[in-house]
Amino acid sequence: MSCLGRMDCGCAKHPESVCCTHERADWAPYDRGEWDECTVAHGDPTYLALLDELRLVHLDKSSSYGTQADPLANFRAVAQVTGAHPSRYAFERIVEKATRALNLIDAGRVSEVEECLDVAGLALCAESLRRTSVSV
């Protein structure tokens, strides 16, 4: 398993540089999106709030696009039809969402861009599929 993050705050709670969060039981709150004062001091508050929002978007969308046994079933279903790796469809959707966002920005309609969380979520879906799917 690859390293999931690093905390270099140097505070009393985290005195040493901590790497590989999956090996640290005391990092469970971070896995649940609970941010302590050290994390917030080292990260943008809006970014951290968006991570929490992204988690909720994933839970909501995976309940209708996927199945209980496979929350990313829709990507795997497309892969079966196309013969491509399941992550390819996620990347194709990223291109679609980014193209729409760029068109809105170019038209001076930045306030209408709502694709950012979708792009971030699709990127994480692609990475999850890359890590868990065998090549076709």
pTM above 0.75, yes or no: no
68 or 25: which carries more pLDDT confidence? 68
Residue 19 has pLDDT above 50, yes or no: no
* Cross-strand partners of 19: 6
Reported as a single tens digit per residue, the pLDDT across 74-97 is 999 999 999 999 999 999 999 999
* pLDDT above 70: percentage of residues in the chain: 68
| Range of weakest confidence among 20-24, 45-49, 65-69 | 20-24
CA–CA separation, 52 vs 116, rounded Å? 14
Rounded average pLDDT over 1-6? 42
16 or 70: which carries more pLDDT confidence? 70
The full set of domain ranges for the chain reads 1-43, 45-136
Reported as a single tens digit per residue, the pLDDT across 97-126 is 999 999 999 999 999 999 999 999 999 999
Q: Which residues of 53-83 are buried (b: 16+ CB within 10 A; e: fewer)?
A: ebeeebeeebeeebeeeebbebbbebbeeee
Residue 1 has pLDDT above 50, yes or no: no
31 or 87: which carries more pLDDT confidence? 87
Residue 43 has pLDDT above 60, yes or no: yes
